[in-house]
Amino acid sequence: MNILVTGGAGFIGSAVIRYLINETEHHVLNVDKLTYAGNLESLISVSDHARYHFVQADICDHASLTRLFSEFQPDVVMHLAAESHVDRSIDSPAEFIHTNIVGTYTLLEVSRKYWQNLSKIEKSSFKFHHISTDEVYGDLDGITDLFTETTPYLPSSPYSASKASSDHLVRAWHRTYGLPVVVTNCSNNYGPYHFPEKLIPLMILNALDGKPLPVYGNGRQIRDWLFVEDHACALYRVATEGLVGETYNIGGHNEKQNIDVVKTICKILDELKPRLNGQTYESLITFVNDRPGHDLRYAIDASKIERELGWKPQESFETGLRKTVEWYLNNLEWCHRVQDGSYQRESLGEAV
Ligand code: NAD
């Protein structure tokens, strides 16, 4: 198949493309604007492959997308391009509205026109896979509640509201125009090639520099963590075997309080790279004002994808986190280069 991936130079998109090139025979076109979050270096291991192609383009650019669809003739679109960082969405929401909502609308329109002109057989096998987040559901009150595919949407941040909007657009294009879509909503990802503004890489890199480890509020917020390569595998499963019109929640069955995530990172670093001053990394933890609108708890019920498509995560949080810390220790050059001097791991939200 020809698989068009948007946002393939990002954290999850690059894991998807590495998976598609290494584990399948499909041809891949990576369409990415290369914002601060997009790094072609994350794709170096596959970029010379004959089945891999890259075009720098904006998903809001109707004309470029139309031309790319016509040239590449995709069988499947995997749509990951987005502005993805909650703190940035609090500081400057405009780009989130533009890329996540207008960009998804533009991609849907181009996909619809392209799909309508396919032959009957091609039409029936085409699929538009929209990749979204569990943050659209808002947060959970109870300790045992889980987000299911039918949980009502209640987004809290400009980021999650923009993703919720895009999910609604995708489902409307299915209901109104018959475009064959599948939607996935996934929990927090972590793993190699994660841009250093996100919690786990931020903590690893700050710790190695002996800088404070800023934890929002009391650190008791609960997130469900999924290793990015498990997510890439799940996305491929849904893109190829998911039923049209369906939504699949994807999660790691790893609910952790943020403070425990940070303490676990510190313990792994104490073991792998002890501090020269003999102190523990945990002594660097500093509590900072909470993020405005901070959701308390997310937890995913991922039983549908396991039951219907036979997918479940391979990594436990312990094994995945150790792999991640080891990866960062071995790839500090990548971190320095992607940061490019313009981002120095400062906190971007109001809560500093
Ligand atoms: P990321 O920020 O690492 O990557 C986003 C990519 O999109 C970058 O390569 C960027 O250059 C590209 N991009 C941004 N605007 C674009 C535009 N207008 N046109 C074309 N390309 C553009 O994000 P990520 O963490 O890899 O997330 C990918 C997708 O998965 C997003 O849609 C996000 O909402 C969703 N998601 C992320 C998580 C997570 O934990 N990171 C969890 C669930 C869902």
Residue 46 · residue 18 · CB < 8 Å: yes
Q: Give 76-120 pLDDT, tens digit per residue.
A: 999 999 999 999 999 999 999 999 999 999 999 999 999 999 999
pLDDT at 43 over 60: yes
Q: What is the pLDDT of residue 352?
A: 24
Segment 14-35 shows an average pLDDT of 98
Measured from the CA of 163, which atom of ligand 1 is nearest?
Answer: 34
Mean pLDDT on 335-339: 85
For ligand 1, atom 27, the nearest C-alpha belongs to 12
Rounded to whole angstroms, the Cα distance separating 320 from 53 reads: 29
**Closest atom of ligand 1 to CA, residue 14:** 26
Whether 46 shows a pLDDT value over 90: the answer reads yes
The pLDDT value given to residue 345: 57
- Calculate the alpha carbon distances from 189 to 152, 186, 192, 302, 336 in Å: 22, 8, 10, 14, 21
10, 80 Cβ separation under 8 angstroms: yes
pTM value? Answer: 0.94
Residues labelled as active-site residues = 134-135, 159
The whole-chain average pLDDT of the chain stands at 94
- What does the pLDDT look like over 222-253, one tens digit per residue? 999 999 999 999 999 999 999 999 999 999 98
Characterize the bridge pairing of strands 213-216 and 2-6: unpaired
| Residue 280 vs residues 200, 246, 268, 288, 329: alpha-carbon distances, Å | 17, 47, 11, 20, 17
Q: Tell me the average pLDDT across 278-286.
A: 97
% of residues, the chain, pLDDT over 70: 96
State in Å: Cα 99 to ligand 1 middle: 10
Closest CA to 52 of 87, 84, 12, 5: 5
At 115, list the tokens.
């799909």
Would strands 181-186 and 247-250 be described as parallel, antiparallel, or unpaired?
A: parallel
| Residue 219 to residue 222: CA distance in whole angstroms | 8
Quick: pLDDT tens for 123-175: 999 999 999 999 999 988 767 789 999 999 999 999 999 999 999 999 999 99
Atom of ligand 1 nearest to the CA of 36: 11
CATH level 2 (architecture), domain 2-194+225-253+299-314: 3-Layer(aba) Sandwich (3.40)
Would you state the pLDDT for residue 67? 98
Q: Which residue has the least CA distance to atom 25 on ligand 1?
A: 11
Q: What is the pLDDT of residue 336?
A: 87
pLDDT tens digit sequence for 61-70: 999 999 999 9
